[in-house]
Copies of this chain bind each other. A is one copy, B any other.
Amino acid sequence: MPLPVDAQPIDKRSGVVQRAFALLSAYDESHVALPLRTLARRSGLPANTTLRLARTLVELGALEHDAEGRYVIGVGLFEIAALAPRGHGLRRLAMPFMEDLGRVTGHHILLKIREGAEAVLIERLSPHGSEPLSFRIGGRLPLDSTGGGLILLAYAPNDIQEEVCRSFTPLPGYEAVQSGDDLRRSLAAIRQDGFVAARRSSPWFCAAVAAPIRDDSGAVIAALSVELRTDRLDNAEANALVPAVVTTARAISRRVSPGLL
């Protein structure tokens, strides 16, 4: 006798939701529009399952068709995701301050949060005519590779810090940190200073100044950073930005109301 739907084993039932998300996770920066066949291949699902799930997701607005009939991520998902407190919630609150910081400094302004051992870019403002930056909103980066990431790592739980420090491999041109022990010392210095000014000489000379954004309990929930291309590894230019970045991060922190994030 067939089991009634509600009595099915939990893993079979949740499996369908997981397969639906496997479809949605088939998309990335280089794959924003997928024909059915590619969608099936990238999600690892049989063609008939893919078609059935894709149709359901189109009905729900999570997928939609582009002008060429390919499947793309739908505006319905954008609408739901706009309610993520750590996404648009934080962004809405931080944006006016980020605009001011961008006007004052003339550099890229980035807002990042931590997901496990990675940073997710929530918002980015880039000045006209600035050197292009490849970071994309919604994209992920290793915690040890950017100024904002180092802030998030410095205030991450110990096990995350240890995981990153243990598996650390030196980045080209990042002279200040060449080993896991260097990284541990940097993180301790960040907690001491309340900001980081990091410089790299490769793939090009660049610098980042970053500071933590805290909630009303004092917990670090995000990192604000200024990123600039520079033609030297001199400290003066980046150091001059520290007060502006730290005060802006504090101004945003004051706006984080209890229960918002």
B16 touches A88 (CB 8 A): no
Q: For the complex formed, measure the closest distance between the CB of A123 and the CB atoms of chain B, giving whole angstroms.
A: 11
Q: Mark A213-233, 1 if CB is under 8 A from B, else 0.
A: 001010100000000000000
Q: A5-B12, A13-B52 are in contact. Are A79 and B33 (CB under 8 A)?
A: no
Q: For the complex formed, measure the closest distance between the CB of A100 and the CB atoms of chain B, giving whole angstroms.
A: 7
Q: Mark A5-22, 1 if CB is under 8 A from B, else 0.
A: 110001011111110110
B24 touches A80 (CB 8 A): yes
A113 touches B75 (CB 8 A): yes
Q: For the complex formed, measure the closest distance between the CB of A105 and the CB atoms of chain B, giving whole angstroms.
A: 15
Question: Chain B residues near A133 (CB, 8 Å)?
Answer: none
Q: Indicate whether A261 reaches chain B with its CB closer than 8 angstroms.
A: yes
B3 touches A2 (CB 8 A): yes
Q: Indicate whether A57 reaches chain B with its CB closer than 8 angstroms.
A: yes
B84 touches A72 (CB 8 A): yes
Q: Indicate whether A196 reaches chain B with its CB closer than 8 angstroms.
A: no
Question: Chain B residues near A16 (CB, 8 Å)?
Answer: 13-14, 16-17
Q: Indicate whether A194 reaches chain B with its CB closer than 8 angstroms.
A: no
Question: Chain B residues near A217 (CB, 8 Å)?
Answer: 67
**Contact among B10, B100, B137 for A88, CB-based, below 8 A:** B137
Question: Chain B residues near A128 (CB, 8 Å)?
Answer: 96, 99-100
Question: Chain B residues near A184 (CB, 8 Å)?
Answer: none
B32 touches A79 (CB 8 A): no
B17 touches A57 (CB 8 A): yes
Q: A10-B52, A16-B13 are in contact. Are A74 and B84 (CB under 8 A)?
A: yes
Q: Indicate whether A60 reaches chain B with its CB closer than 8 angstroms.
A: yes
Q: A96-B126, A128-B100 are in contact. Are A85 and B14 (CB under 8 A)?
A: no
A78 touches B88 (CB 8 A): yes
Residue of B nearest to A130 (CB): B96
> Can you list 28 A-B pairs with a CB-CB distance of less than 8 A?
A1-B1, A5-B12, A14-B52, A16-B16, A17-B17, A17-B57, A17-B60, A25-B80, A27-B80, A27-B83, A32-B89, A33-B85, A67-B217, A67-B261, A68-B259, A73-B83, A73-B84, A73-B85, A74-B84, A75-B86, A75-B120, A78-B88, A79-B120, A79-B139, A80-B138, A81-B82, A82-B137, A99-B125
